[in-house]
Structures are given as C-alpha cells and as structure tokens.
Amino acid sequence: MSAVVFQRIALLAKSDPESDQQLAATVQTLYRFLLQHDLQVACEPVAAALLPDVAAAPMDVLVAQSDLAIVVGGDGTLLRSAHQFVHAGVPLLGVNLGRLGFLVDISPDEMLTVLAAILRGAYQQEERFLLSCTVGDRPPQLALNDVVLHKWHIARMLEFKLWLDDTLLDTQRSDGLIVATPTGSTAYALSGGGPLLAPGLDAMALVPICPHTLGNRPLVVNGDSTIAMAICGRTDPAHVRVTCDGRVSLCLAADERIQVTRYAVPVRLLHPADYDHYTILRTKLGWGEQPVR
C-alpha cells in the first residue's frame, strides 16, 4: 500500500440551517475518520461549530497550511472555497449535500470508502480555469462558473455592445449575457439554453438571456479570448448588475466597460479514481431514462 499523500486537511462546510442535522452528522463522521488516520485537521468556522470542543482556524491559516481541502456541501460551497484556495494551489474535494452536485461528486454514503482510497493516492486530478472580470478600473473579481451581465429591478430589456478581442461582435438587446467557463456550462448557462462544454476545453460560452432576436444564439469562443461589454442606447446603468458566480454583484457607472478574460491560475479538483464526467451528466440530467407509463 502506498503512503498517504495528504497530511494536513482543511475541513469546510456549507452554512444551511435546513440541513443542519445531516450536515452535522456528515462533518462529525468525516472529522473522526480523518483523526483515526493520524491526519492533521483544521476547520473553518462553520465546520468547527458542528464539532464539540474544536476551535476554528482562520481562513488564511487554512489556505497556507493545508495539503487538501474537503468541502461538505453543494456546488455553491465548493465555488466559494475555490475562490479562497486557488492561489495556494490546494486541491479541493467535494462531499455532496447539495442538490445536483456537478462539482461535489462524492455522496455521504460512500464518503469514507472513497476518501480512504484517495488518501492512498487513488484519485483523479484535474484543473479548471476561472474567469477574471474587471468593471472599469476596479479590482478584478474571479468566477469559476460564470460572469453574468443582467438587468436589475426592471422588466425591460438591456441594450449593450459586445466585443470579442477588440472586434465589435454585436449590439444586443436581451435580458443580459452569461459568459461561462466549461465548468459553468452546467450551471446558469445550461438553463439559458447554452451548450455543455467538456471540462478540459479551452473555451468559453457566450449565452444570451432571453434575446430579442432569434438570430442571437449561444456562441463558443477560444478560452484566451477577451470579452468586453458596455451598456448603450436607452439602458440606464443603474438598472444593470454584473454578477460573478452568483456571489459578487457589481454596479455599473456610466461609460464603464466590463472585461472578461481567462484567469492565469487554475483551481485543482480531486475526484474518485472511477470518476467520469459523462456519467455525472447522464446521472444528474436523467439521460436515457424511460418515461413512466
């Protein structure tokens, strides 16, 4: 048997009052398992609060001193963790207590068996790229799933210009635009009618939200492209927002341009040894299921 490849574990959990009982049981089982394997375990505040007599560690300490971050929750919890750990290159492993769970792919029922194998070195690792979004001259924000330009508190469409690598692509009237990574192609972009992109593709999907014209279709572009957007026409910037991964919401000032590029540092994800992306899609999206008669 090969040696354990991870020694210092960061344990993170979602904050969700509706699932406190299951969340607490899962975190407690996981924590005991890790200690039984002589691993060093540090917990962020939500996870620590579910464990008796365990003090929380500051996030900067978790990021700097961990070999592996285990995230108990849904895809949203893993997205948050990706933003925190990406710069340190700490890999993320997800235990699914959410709904669909395209990113957190280990069920609580098989958690201990899968984790034991991963600690022995039996796992798959992949890198997923993020987007960097800059509004005007403000600091950039990161997104693993998507950057979304959308309307805010109004029922009318937006009008905006869209550039691809400094070439004017379109003057669009719609409810907004989703710029999605391959990871984000199974999120909001999927609901908007966008294509599913294989995780390893060096590509981005541009998916209009309820476009005014039928000719305005989703578009897949190179991953190293520069996407720019600017409000125009009668659209008031006060009625527009830019959202990154559903976490950060940015207001627009008049004449500010939104720029989206691929971020230089990828996030590392771990999966079980038998992980297959298309099996996940088939399971989560119900492909091949026969209708009930």
Q: What is the pLDDT of residues 13-51, one digit of tens each?
A: 998 755 578 899 999 999 999 999 999 999 999 999 999
Mean pLDDT of the chain: 93
Q: For the whole model, what pTM was predicted? A: 0.93
Alpha-carbon gap, residue 73 to 104, rounded angstroms: 8
User: Could you tell me where in the chain the CATH 2.60.200.30 domains are found?
Assistant: 131-262
Query: Backbone phi, then psi, for 152, in 5-degree steps?
Result: -140, 115
Tokens at residue 283, please?
């399971």
Residue in 16, 53, 60, 75 annotated catalytic: 75
User: Could you tell me where in the chain the CATH 3.40.50.10330 domains are found?
Assistant: 8-128+266-285
* pLDDT single digits (tens) 49-69: 999 999 999 999 999 999 999
* pLDDT single digits (tens) 114-138: 999 999 999 999 999 999 999 999 9
* pLDDT single digits (tens) 260-282: 999 999 999 999 999 999 999 99
Alpha-carbon gap, residue 232 to 205, rounded angstroms: 22
**CB of 62 closer than 8 Å to CB of 46:** no
How many residues belong to the chain? 293
Q: Residue 208: which of 181, 163, 176, 183 has the closest Cα?
A: 176
Confidence band, pLDDT 50/70/90 cuts, at residue 164: very high
Tokens at residue 95, please?
């235990």
pLDDT at 1 over 50: no
What CATH number is given for 8-128+266-285 in this structure?
3.40.50.10330
pLDDT at 73 over 60: yes
* Local structure of 217: helix, strand or coil: coil
10 Å Cβ neighbour count for 80?
A: 18
Instruction: Provide the residue type at 119 as one letter.
Output: L
pLDDT at 293 over 90: no
Q: Residue 121: which of 47, 83, 73, 67 has the closest Cα?
A: 67
* pLDDT single digits (tens) 219-228: 999 999 999 9
- Provide the edge-to-edge strand list for the sheet that holds 248-251: 219-222, 203-209, 176-180, 146-151, 240-244, 248-251
pLDDT at 111 over 70: yes
Tokens at residue 187, please?
């999120």
**CB of 41 closer than 8 Å to CB of 11:** yes
209 contact partners, CB below 8 Å, separation of at least 6: 148, 150, 174, 175, 176, 177, 178, 192
Beta bridge partners of 221: 204
Instruction: Provide the residue type at 191 as one letter.
Output: S
Superfamily of domain 131-262: Probable inorganic polyphosphate/atp-NAD kinase; domain 2 (2.60.200.30)
Quick check: is 75 catalytic?
yes
The pLDDT of residue 292 is 63
The number of CA neighbours under 13 Å toward the Cβ of 196 is 9
Mean pLDDT value of segment 5-12: 94
